[in-house]
Amino acid sequence: MNAKKTDGEVAKVVGRFAAKFAVVLVGLAVLGAAAIAGYDSTWIMVGAGVAMFVAVYGWKLIRGAARGAILSEATLVSEGPAPLGGVAHLRLGLSPTRPVPVTSAKLTFYTQERAIYDAGTSQRTYKEVIGTWETPLDVPAVLDKDLYRTVRVPIPLDIPPTFHGSKNHLESKCTVYLDIPNWPDVELETEIVVLPEVVHG
């Protein structure tokens, strides 16, 4: 059984990550100010690049720490491929470290095309969502014990099957969202391999 965390312990876990994030931002601000004062364009570019990296990924780290503080396990795993018109099965696992209120929960299914192409000496990724749908997910209003459930996901007939090439990909994914009041939402995602076979009826 998982040890339950008190509110104070949860706050400490998230606080440590937030404090480290703040220290990094302050350091970048000092670096940027020094670069501007010295008119060193190289340092300005380096500082701007690092600042963008921290801005994009720093919040994800804090969200991960927040999720780990209330859920010792949060997993979404596909149990196998599914044909067009068939049903995929996902295994959802949630193990709270304390009672967690859940305002709402939903499952989103989407298919996207992902293409990687060369742009000079670097590579860029192009993504386009081909089809999507979502449905409410039945989750207790207060998650106070382990929840392990198989989720059935109908596969549409009008989407392309899964394809993974060297630079072109067609992929279908499912995302589970848990809306937690006064806390970063929980978001879990997994890929479903869609087979070219068709099941009717």
What digits encode the pLDDT tens for the residues 146-166?
999 999 999 999 999 999 998
14 backbone dihedrals φ, ψ, rounded to 5°: -70, -35
**Per-residue b/e over 47-69, b at no fewer than 16 CB within 10 Å?**
beeebeebeeebeeebbebbbbb
Strand-pair partners of 169: 114, 164
More confidently predicted of 123 and 42:
123
Q: What are the sequence ranges of the domains in the chain? A: 7-70, 71-198
Radius of gyration of the CA atoms of the chain, in A: 21
Question: CA nearest 97: which of 2, 12, 8?
Answer: 2
Element (H, E) at 136: strand 122-136
Q: If DSSP codes are grouped into helix, strand and coil, which group holds residue 126?
A: strand
Average pLDDT over residues 178-190: 88
More confidently predicted of 83 and 24:
83
Question: CA nearest 178: which of 91, 106, 90?
Answer: 106
Topology of domain 71-198, CATH = Immunoglobulin-like (2.60.40)
Are the beta carbons of 106 and 135 closer than 8 angstroms?
yes
pLDDT by residue (tens digit) across 55-104? 555 555 555 555 567 888 899 999 999 999 999 999 999 999 889 999 99
Q: Please tell me the predicted confidence (pLDDT) of residue 43.
A: 57
At 6, the pLDDT band (50, 70, 90 cuts) reads: very low
pTM over 0.85: no
CA distance linking residue 143 with residue 184, whole number of Å: 15
